[in-house]
Structure 1
Amino acid sequence: MEPNTHNEETGQPAKISKKSVITGVIILIAALFLTFYTIIKNLSGHDILATIKQVSPLIIILGLIMMLLFSFFEGLNMYRVLKLAGYKITLWTSWKYAIVGFFYSGITPSSSGGQPMQIYYMYQDNIRVSHGLGAVIMQLFGHEAANSLFGLVGFIALNNLIVSAIGNLKYLVYLGLFINIAYFLLLLLCLFSQRAITLIKQFLCWLVSLFDRKKTGKMQGKVERILDEYASLHSLIKKDRTIAIKTILTAIVQFICLYSIPAIVYYGFGYTEFSFLELELLQGVIFISVGFIPIPGSAGVSEGMSLMLFRVLYPASTLAGAALLGRCLSMYFTLILYCIILFVIIPIIRFKRNKN
């Protein structure tokens, strides 16, 4: 569903003011600046070109295709919810919301900007906040299910390899598994149990009231409104009980695409000792080990964990280059691509459509 850019009375396209053009240019410049600042800050001191030259250009292309598919399947999960809510939305538009989430997560501290910006873009497309929130929560539900599955199976199947590589840091994996599985079960309860939502609302309202010294009730009211918006998803799911299974299966395919990046890089450097499945599961363990850390340094922790585990995959001469290339494909190159899509390609398409 595209934003309403037409005059409702005349049916003609609305005029674009100079203020809107200037605002758009400022947003574009700011987005470009944040993107390249993030990349330069995290990759300072590394020779990216020298690393890329060690592999075929097809490896770069295939990696970017996997990242595009990763976002496509995320958009597909949001698409189902919005279609269920009655919106005449296209897969292209839902894919745009997934790209928005990835891009703003990549350029904001602690990846905090992704989901709020997704809801904002949906609101700009005349989608109610409650329905946008429902789509994001359902996507998050699938995300946690697939993430927990890959992490748990990976840790069990590759336990000896992982423990020998990271030692006592295995407890970080235990903690990550516990938090992700607990979060998934909480989402599951909230999605399918109205009573669970009511109990959580009562608990949170009681907790917030402890900090409301003036006893105005405003804080409790805000909490109730937020949870009421969340509860609207429960009634929506009743229309299609199979949507949860579809969401989980789609998320599994989504993470297969994401976790294939290290495998693509590994085979691109000419190594074949480990299977594709083993590399996928190993990446799942890395992701679940640090994904729950809500601090800006979690990206560094993730790269540190990757280096520790990748020592069993690569010789010392290739390790840093392989880790760098994998990070570029799964994050920095994708950020640049999505920046171009959001702030160049989509505005051009929208301008031509309005002009016609």
Structure 2
Amino acid sequence: MSTKTKLWNLLKNGGLFIIFAAITFKIFIINGNVKEITSAISHVNLGYIAMGIVAMLLMVFCEALNIKRCLKQVKEYSTLFQCIQYSFAGVFFSSITPAATGGQPMQIYFMHKRKIKISNAMLAIMISIAAYQLVTSSMAIISLIFNFKFFNTTLGEFSILLYLGIFLNMIFLFLLLIAIFSKKLIYQGVNLCVSIFKKFNAEKAEIFKKNALTEIERYKQGAECIKNDKKFIIETIIIVVIQIAAFHSVPYWVYKAFGLSSGTLLQFIGIQAALYIAGAALPFPGAVGIGEGGFLIFFKTLFPVQLLSSAMILSRGISFYLMILISGLGVMYLQLKLNKNTAPIMNLE
């Protein structure tokens, strides 16, 4: 794919994100009581807001730590600081692309630019995604079980998205695990690609097949190494639990920032886990619109009605819009560093 095409795709996805964000801003902020919202936000405890921001940075750190561990497991060296940059790339590109499809390919690409073998980069990212999906789905299911009455009476028709989100995530996890550990499926995928390429260029198809088989052997060795290391798998899942808990704790810190105290941290994490999985059922960039509207539904019994809109703005502002800004700066830094030693970052040919 040419540089121009890739750049156009990124601009198109970014434009789609901006449109959704603008519509959301119009619906939830401009049409609301701006004076009331501004007044409420101006009186929050900034210490708890800082805790929400720290929680999001902890989420990035945990993902970076797992990427570093996965790369080390397949004999690839990368510093924690470099892995934090990859994590920021994942946050940024996942946020501006439908169904968060852009994050992981860009992470793999950035790793490859630093001479990490594509097979190892792909395996590291797929292991991280699998652990993430497992924990995310498990948290949502556990929350649904323990809060079934709450969700049943509070969500109404919105509950359909919750069930659909859990169903889709479980299917995705199942297919992902097959893709990681199924040797037969990997070879079938390569043979399919080769048969298609031969219709256009037989010589290049054979070159592709030779390179792909080499990468597959490396991939298989790494996958076997990880599959047989139970301690590594358990530690990875524990780190992801901390990662997701930090991510889902943001509404709680906003809740505390307003001086409220009757709700518990576990309660907020559980409800936010369900909201997150419901938002994943629809392929909007960053769940823009769904995240905001869902917050008003999921948390309407925990926040006083006069603070609900303000809480939504602060929570989404910290966990999504601020993180886009921070991760975008991280991606810019990564691009500048790579440009000193390699071709421009958008040159994907």
For the criterion TM > 0.5, the same-fold answer is yes
Shift of residue 108, structure 1, vs aligned partner = 3.5
Q: C-alpha deviations, 1:234-292, integer Å up to 9, x for none?
A: 42133342332222211111001001101111121122222111111111111112213
Give me the whole-angstrom Cα distance separating, in 1, the residues matched to 2:123 and 2:132: 14
- Number of aligned residue pairs: 316
Q: Which structure 2 residues correspond to residues 130-149 of structure 1 after superposition, within 5 A? A: 130-149=119-138
The answer to whether the 8 Å contact 2:183/2:220 transfers is: no
Shift of residue 310, structure 1, vs aligned partner = 1.1
Consecutive unaligned residues in structure 1, runs of 5 or more = 1-25, 352-356
Q: Which structure 2 residues correspond to residues 258-269 of structure 1 after superposition, within 5 A? A: 258-269=247-258
Matched, 1:322 2:326: no
The answer to whether the 8 Å contact 2:165/2:278 transfers is: yes
Q: Which structure 2 residues correspond to residues 83-98 of structure 1 after superposition, within 5 A? A: 83-98=72-87
- Please tell me the residue identity of whatever aligns with 2:222: L
C-alpha spacing 1:34/1:68, structure 2 compared with 1 (3 Å): farther
Give me the whole-angstrom Cα distance separating, in 1, the residues matched to 2:337 and 2:132: 32
Shift of residue 86, structure 1, vs aligned partner = 2.0
- Which of 8, 20, 42 aligns to 1:53? It is 42
Matched, 1:102 2:84: no
- Please tell me the residue identity of whatever aligns with 1:140: I
C-alpha spacing 1:230/1:141, structure 2 compared with 1 (3 Å): farther
Shift of residue 163, structure 1, vs aligned partner = 0.8
- Which of 235, 239, 242 aligns to 1:250? It is 239
Q: Which structure 2 residues correspond to residues 332-343 of structure 1 after superposition, within 5 A? A: 332-343=321-332
Matched, 1:175 2:164: yes
Shift of residue 109, structure 1, vs aligned partner = 4.3
The answer to whether the 8 Å contact 1:99/1:338 transfers is: yes
Shift of residue 76, structure 1, vs aligned partner = 1.2
Give me the whole-angstrom Cα distance separating, in 2, the residues matched to 1:349 and 1:184: 33
Matched, 1:43 2:25: yes
Secondary structure in 2 matching 1:239: helix
- Please tell me the residue identity of whatever aligns with 1:81: C
Give me the whole-angstrom Cα distance separating, in 2, the residues matched to 1:87 and 1:255: 26
Q: 1:20 is matched with which residue?
A: none
The answer to whether the 8 Å contact 1:35/1:336 transfers is: no
Shift of residue 134, structure 1, vs aligned partner = 1.3
| RMSD over aligned Cα atoms | 3.8
C-alpha spacing 1:124/1:41, structure 2 compared with 1 (3 Å): farther
Shift of residue 36, structure 1, vs aligned partner = 11
Q: C-alpha deviations, 1:30-62, integer Å up to 9, x for none?
A: 9xx979957666434455754531312212221
C-alpha spacing 1:299/1:234, structure 2 compared with 1 (3 Å): farther
Matched, 1:235 2:218: no
- Please tell me the residue identity of whatever aligns with 2:120: H
Q: C-alpha deviations, 1:116-138, integer Å up to 9, x for none?
A: 22112112211122221111111
Q: 1:198 is matched with which residue?
A: 184
The answer to whether the 8 Å contact 1:134/1:232 transfers is: no
Shift of residue 88, structure 1, vs aligned partner = 2.5
C-alpha spacing 1:253/1:272, structure 2 compared with 1 (3 Å): same
Higher relative contact order (CA 8 A, sep 6+): 2
- Please tell me the residue identity of whatever aligns with 2:242: V
The answer to whether the 8 Å contact 1:197/1:231 transfers is: no
Determine what percentage of the aligned residue pairs are the same residue.
28
The answer to whether the 8 Å contact 2:251/2:315 transfers is: yes
Secondary structure in 2 matching 1:87: coil
The answer to whether the 8 Å contact 1:151/1:177 transfers is: yes
C-alpha spacing 1:216/1:173, structure 2 compared with 1 (3 Å): same
Give me the whole-angstrom Cα distance separating, in 2, the residues matched to 1:208 and 1:51: 60
C-alpha spacing 1:190/1:245, structure 2 compared with 1 (3 Å): farther
- Which of 112, 120, 140 aligns to 2:101? It is 112
Give me the whole-angstrom Cα distance separating, in 2, the residues matched to 1:239 and 1:203: 22
Consecutive unaligned residues in structure 2, runs of 5 or more = 1-6, 341-349
